[in-house]
Amino acid sequence: MTCTSVGIVSGDRTGFVQKGELVFVESFDAWYSREHDRLIATLVLTTGDIDLAVEGVDEACSRALERWERVGAMDSPSGWVYRVAINHARRVARRRTMEQKFFQKSVPKPDLPAPAGELWDLVASLTVRQRQVVILRHVAELKETEIGAVLGISRGTVSSTLHDAHQRLGRLLDDDNES
């Protein structure tokens, strides 16, 4: 998709001609100020590694800035950035694993404080998909359709997974209260 900047700036919005129509999108600076910390928190909860999360989000934001005319016009720029960040984090983690095997090093796992105390221990006990959906919904504040696009699953699957995760968390909380 080719966008031509027409240089129209109105507050925190910039205008572009896209497919022959004038489209206003939020400026990258305004979006970045609002979303950067939330994206890092989301990736920390997903990866469990703050350095990897920061690196992934920074790389993804850099790529978003290069393509802001296209990314800013998307329904969910944050969803696109999260997907790029998690893909980058996976590549780095895979590379680290290969390097560890090759060099027979053991890299200590960082001792991260639990973001929500004991509740995070319960969230960590969910399946990978349930944990991703819960984090994207409640930390990243993405809508179900956006989560589906990020994870490559249908909105119905997101809804069902979120429901199952909430049910499991409820049972786990009840078990903890009875102990």
Please tell me which of 79-83, 91-95, 112-116 the model is most confident about, judged by mean pLDDT.
Answer: 79-83
> What is the value of pTM for the model shown?
0.63
pLDDT of residue 2: 47
> The domain 113-179 is classified under which CATH number: 3.60.20.10, 3.20.20.70, 1.10.10.10, 3.40.1410.10?
1.10.10.10
Query: For residue 13, which phi and psi values (nearest 5 degrees)?
Result: -120, 150
Cβ-based neighbour number of residue 69 at 10 Å: 19
- CATH 1.10.10.10 in the chain, residue ranges: 113-179
What does the buried/exposed string (b/e) look like for 71-108 if buried means 16 or more CB atoms within 10 Å of the residue's CB? Answer: bbbbebbbbbbbbbbbebbeebeeeeeeeeeeeeeeee
SS3 35: helix
- Assign 168 a pLDDT band (cuts: 50, 70, 90): very high
